[in-house]
Structure 1
Amino acid sequence: MTMTRRNYIAGMAVAAAVTMSLPTAAWADTLKMGLLVPGSVSEEGWNRIGYNALKGVEKELGAQVSYVELQQNPASFEKAFRDYASQGYTVILGHGFEFQDAALDVAPDYPDTVFLISSSYIHEDNVIGLNTDTSQPFFLMGLVAAKMGKKAGLVGGMEIPPIQQAFEGFKNGARSVDPEFPISEAYIGNFSDTTATKEAALSMIAQGVDFLVPNASGATIGGYQAIAEAGKDVGTFSIFSDFTEVAPDNILGLYVADYAQGVVKVVRGIQEGDVPSGNVEFGLKDPEVMKFTFRDDVKNPVPADIRAVVEEVKGKIAAGEIQTRAR
């Protein structure tokens, strides 16, 4: 059984994907879920996470699912939401903060559809934000950077809240070790220009950065390419997905978001008629969703004493004893 895959084109109706024999949902004969992603799901990283979440709902809840790959075009966001909602989709996931405004515009016209928005704190009627607090694992990365390096660099896609909050966590983690620890920060202005990410990273490395983390959705890989080219003296962490093949000698550990587990939990509740009453936030307290691990097979692994500190801090963050960003 295979999924029909079509890119979204303005004026074209959304194409439905696999159909299965399903259990009865709370208010529909068939649970139908659509996904909007700001790029290609074929690449490791942010868009693949959204796709995996959709496939998780298909597998575990027996849903009929469909997805569209979009460019950064708000008009196309609204059209895709309307196409899915008009076809009776129970849940539509806009995978990224940039989908929030379009969902808010469309949702009042489709009160029986639940609009989920990744990396968003919104909760307004049937529009619900699903936020993975990436400031928490980034806090741990910053702590490691300050203990092992001399200067850190952060390369982001666009200066939007989810990336700003992740970088805030990194800076707070580093400065919990050394308040004067130097950190460079830059944004390339989009999520697709791999070359721009690479050039920004190389520029930082040339200026003495020895620990660097890129966070630019589909363009993130450019940062890892720069790190690999720079040699073994630059450390990093793989974020969202596993990029160790790109920079095997540099990646000290991984933050992997198994977002699918969180989305399945939320959609299962919706299927049973239990729509979240507020914004949903996942963090280190949800180990099935947020995984932070170290690599032992790297040439210069994180030392045992630093790992012990990280584990202690990780527990305190999960318990709410350490705040990783401003609330």
Structure 2
Amino acid sequence: MGGMAGVLAGLLPAGKAWAEDLKMGLLVPGSVSEEGWNRIGYNALKGVQEQLGATISYVELQQNPASFEKAFYDYASQGYQVILGHGFEFQDAALSVAEDYPETWFLISSSDIHEGRVIGLHTDTSQPFYLMGVIAAKMGKKAGLVGGMEIPPIQQAFEGFKNGVRSVDPDFPISEAYIGNFTDTTAAKEAALSMIAQGADFVLPNASGATVGGYQGIAESGADVRTFSIFSDFTPVAPDNILGLYVADYAQGVVEVVRGIRDGAPPEANVVFGLKDEKVMQFTFREDGPVAVPDAIKAEVAEVAAQIAAGNIQTHSN
């Protein structure tokens, strides 16, 4: 069924083959009810449904590569023309299944891949994290980074943060720890508390569903610890600590990629969203709370952001 849809797409005018029966599946590493990473994937799927009229479906999975392959196979065999694996961890399974379903498009979040119809969709989070690093070095004394697993998207984001810090003060101390999963909120909280106990006064958690635990630890440590809200608004969790918000409207980015695939104009390389893509990436300062970034630092950060968007500052090494 999926193969037949692909054949028709090659024979009919652009957009005609899928005008009535575009089907898209989503694989998420956890629950879409969680604020943060998994919810972003679900919002992308809903955007494709609402804007492109697609039939959609999603499956919630644990960290199990065998289940990733099965889910990809299930959707491809049921004629889903586009399947989004929402996370770098889905890349290998997609490459394996794509061998049997060459007419199906496999989109992989947080990936830089482009092999056949396996396409990476990557938001360059190192760019806003670079800005957070600049802020941390100008406002704090020591930074702490709490990651989920040591996978490229998180490592790249943290590299951006560290490069931002070093652009201000090469000797600024930074602690970094990974909890080894994306679900253990208690571990994320304990890692944040440990860093704070060792003097970190700017702490950033980046651990998908476990991220909220990091903010809980920050909040419990008092108002002297600063942080930035990432991916979703965690201000209700740490109202006295959050300086601003970074969000990526990844949903709209996915919609445009799928629209291009449907209309016969698929990506010719992996897709990278950054600060230059104003409709996708937003970096804003909080104006309504007890903590704030001074205006002079805001102005400096705005200039750095403009330089990054123009391609004049490299925020990560590759």
TMscore range, shorter length: over 0.9
Provide the residue aligned with 1:27 in structure 2. Answer: 17
Provide the residue aligned with 1:213 in structure 2. Answer: 204
Amino acid at match of 2:276: K
Amino acid at match of 1:104: L
Whole-angstrom distance in 1 between the partners of 2:290 and 2:16: 53
Structure 2: stretches of 5+ with no match in the other structure = 1-13
Alpha carbons 1:31, 1:63 under 8 Å: kept: yes
Provide the residue aligned with 2:7 in structure 1. Answer: none
Q: Residue by residue, what CA displacement relative to the aligned partner does 1:192-230 show, whole Å, maximum 9, x if unpaired?
A: 000000000000000000000000000000000000000
Provide the residue aligned with 1:243 in structure 2. Answer: 234
Alpha carbons 2:175, 2:195 under 8 Å: kept: yes
Q: Residue by residue, what CA displacement relative to the aligned partner does 1:162-191 show, whole Å, maximum 9, x if unpaired?
A: 000000000000110000000000000000
Amino acid at match of 2:82: V
The CA deviation at 1:26 is: 4.3
Q: 2:123 aligns with which of 120, 124, 132?
A: 132
The CA deviation at 1:287 is: 1.0
Alpha carbons 1:145, 1:211 under 8 Å: kept: yes
The CA deviation at 1:112 is: 1.3
Whole-angstrom distance in 2 between the partners of 1:128 and 1:108: 14
Alpha carbons 1:26, 1:273 under 8 Å: kept: no
Q: 1:60 aligns with which of 51, 55, 65?
A: 51
Whole-angstrom distance in 2 between the partners of 1:126 and 1:207: 47
For 1:103, what is the secondary structure of its paired residue? helix
- Please, which moves more after superposition, 307-316 or 295-304? 295-304
Amino acid at match of 1:255: Y
Aligned residue runs from structure 1 range 290-309, under 5 A: 290-309=281-300
Question: Is residue 52 of structure 2 the alignment partner of residue 51 of structure 1?
Answer: no
Alpha carbons 2:242, 2:291 under 8 Å: kept: no
Amino acid at match of 1:217: S
The CA deviation at 1:25 is: 4.3
Q: 1:88 aligns with which of 79, 86, 91?
A: 79
**TM-score, scaled relative to structure 2:** 0.94
For 1:59, what is the secondary structure of its paired residue? helix
Following superposition, which runs of at least 4 residues in structure 1 exceed 3 angstroms of deviation?
A: 24-29
The CA deviation at 1:300 is: 2.2
State percent identity of aligned pairs: 78
Give the superposed CA RMSD. 0.9
Q: 1:99 to 1:26 in 2, by over 3 A?
A: farther
Q: 1:184 aligns with which of 154, 175, 184?
A: 175
Question: Is residue 141 of structure 2 the alignment partner of residue 150 of structure 1?
Answer: yes
Whole-angstrom distance in 1 between the partners of 2:144 and 2:279: 29
The CA deviation at 1:275 is: 1.5
Provide the residue aligned with 1:37 in structure 2. Answer: 28
